[in-house]
C-alpha cells in the first residue's frame, strides 16, 4: 500500500516574492510547475496542479493579500485546483470548458495525459484512486484575452494568447522583471502538439511571437527554468522541425 503524504505539495523559493510549487509524489515525468508571485496589492498564482489535495489550504499560511489565480490553459495538471479559489482567470477560448468541467477537453487525449495510479509514488489521502480522477468544474472562472493586464500593484503581467498546444494557452509576461511564464507553450522537454485541441500552424505562429520578446528568464509549466538564449533555441528548433516536412523544397 502506498503511503499518504501530507502536505502533498512542495514549495521552492526562487527569490523574494517568487516561489515554485510542485507535487513531488506525482511522478509522471511531466508534472507541472505552479508559480506563486507575491505582489504589493495582490498575489498571483499561475496554475493549480492536479486538484487531488487542497492547494488553497496548503497556501493559506503564505497568503496575506487577495489572490488572483490564472490558469495557463485548461489541461488537468494546470487547472485541477482552480475550483477552490474565488478569483480565477483563463483564456476565453477555454473559459466555458473550465466553467463546465468538460473532462474530455480538460484531460485531453486520454492515452497521453490521463492520470494513472502508477504515476503516484505516494497518495494524497487514504483511499485515493486515480480511476476516479476528474477536475471539478469552476463556474466562477472569468475569461481573459490577449493584452489583458494582471496587476499586482508593484508588478504587472501581460496576457499573451499563444495557442497551438491548446486553443486557450497563454503566457504571462512581466516587463518589470523580464520574466515570461510560459505554461505548456514552451518548456525544455518534448512539446505536445498532437492533442485533440492542438493546432500546429497556430503553434508555429505563437512561437514566432515569442521570438519578438526579450525575457531574461522563462518560468515554464514543466521542467526547469531557462534563459533567453535557451528560449530562442527551443522555439527555433520547434519551428524548424514543424516547417521542414511541409516545405521539402526549402530544406
Best CA proximity match to 76, nearest among 56, 97, 91 = 97
206 in Cβ contact with 167 (< 8 Å): no
Stretch of 45-53, 58-66, 198-206, 215-223 contacting Zn ion, by CB under 5 A: 215-223
Best CA proximity match to 210, nearest among 187, 193, 177 = 187
Stretch of 73-81, 117-125, 140-148, 198-206 contacting Zn ion, by CB under 5 A: 73-81
Least separation in angstroms between CB 77 and Zn ion: 5
- Helix extents (H) in the chain: 55-59, 76-79, 92-100, 103-107, 110-113, 200-210, 228-243
Stretch of 46-54, 76-84, 121-129, 211-219 contacting Zn ion, by CB under 5 A: 76-84
Which CB sits closer to Zn ion, 77 or 202?
A: 77
Stretch of 48-56, 98-106, 117-125, 180-188 contacting Zn ion, by CB under 5 A: 180-188
Least separation in angstroms between CB 184 and Zn ion: 4
Which CB sits closer to Zn ion, 167 or 179?
A: 167
Which CB sits closer to Zn ion, 72 or 174?
A: 72
Best CA proximity match to 123, nearest among 63, 53, 207, 189 = 53
Contacts of residue 65, defined as CB under 8 A and 6 or more positions apart, other chains included, come to 38, 39, 41, 42, 43
Q: Any contact of residue 184 with Zn ion (CB under 5 A)?
A: yes
The DSSP result for 156-178, as a single string, is EEEEEE--SSSTT-EEEEETTTT
Which CB sits closer to Zn ion, 34 or 152?
A: 34
**Roughly what angle, to the nearest 10 degrees, separates helices 228-243 and 200-210?**
150
162 in Cβ contact with 170 (< 8 Å): yes
Residue 29 pairs in a beta bridge with: none
Residue number of the CB closest to Zn ion reads 75
Q: What are phi and psi of 130, to 5 degrees?
A: -65, -20
Least separation in angstroms between CB 31 and Zn ion: 8
Least separation in angstroms between CB 195 and Zn ion: 7
Site for Zn ion in 97-156 (CB under 5 A): none
Least separation in angstroms between CB 26 and Zn ion: 12
Which CB sits closer to Zn ion, 155 or 181?
A: 181
Stretch of 69-77, 87-95, 170-178, 239-247 contacting Zn ion, by CB under 5 A: 69-77
Work out which of 77, 193, 197, 202 binds Zn ion, going by CB under 5 A.
Answer: 77
Please report where in the chains the cell 516587463 appears, as a residue.
Answer: 175
Name the site residues for Zn ion (rule: CB under 5 A).
75, 77, 184, 221
Amino acid at each position: 500500500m502506498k503511503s499518504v503524504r501530507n502536505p502533498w505539495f512542495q514549495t521552492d523559493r526562487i527569490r523574494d516574492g517568487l516561489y515554485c510549487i510542485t507535487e513531488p509524489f506525482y511522478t509522471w515525468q511531466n508534472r507541472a510547475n505552479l508559480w506563486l508571485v507575491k505582489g504589493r496589492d495582490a498575489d498571483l498564482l499561475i496554475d493549480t496542479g492536479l486538484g487531488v489535495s487542497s492547494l488553497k489550504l496548503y497556501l493559506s499560511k503564505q497568503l496575506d493579500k487577495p489572490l488572483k489565480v490564472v490558469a495557463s490553459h485548461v489541461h488537468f495538471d494546470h487547472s485541477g485546483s482552480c475550483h477552490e479559489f474565488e478569483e480565477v482567470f483563463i483564456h476565453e477560448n477555454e473559459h466555458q470548458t473550465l466553467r463546465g468541467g468538460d473532462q474530455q477537453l480538460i484531460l485531453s487525449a486520454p492515452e497521453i495525459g490521463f492520470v494513472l495510479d502508477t504515476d503516484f509514488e505516494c497518495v494524497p489521502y487514504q483511499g485515493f484512486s486515480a480511476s476516479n480522477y476528474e477536475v471539478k468544474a469552476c463556474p466562477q472562472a472569468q475569461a481573459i484575452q490577449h493584452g489583458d493586464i494582471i496587476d499586482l500593484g508593484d508588478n504587472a503581467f501581460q496576457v499573451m494568447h499563444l495557442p497551438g498546444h491548446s486553443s486557450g494557452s497563454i503566457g504571462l509576461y512581466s516587463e518589470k522583471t523580464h520574466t515570461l511564464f510560459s505554461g505548456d507553450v514552451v518548456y525544455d522537454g518534448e512539446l505536445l502538439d498532437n492533442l485533440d485541441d492542438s493546432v500546429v500552424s497556430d503553434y508555429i505562429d505563437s512561437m514566432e511571437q515569442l521570438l519578438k520578446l526579450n525575457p531574461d528568464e522563462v518560468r515554464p509549466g514543466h521542467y526547469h527554468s531557462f534563459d533567453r538564449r535557451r528560449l530562442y533555441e527551443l522555439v527555433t528548433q520547434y519551428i524548424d522541425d514543424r516547417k521542414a516536412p511541409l516545405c521539402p523544397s526549402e530544406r
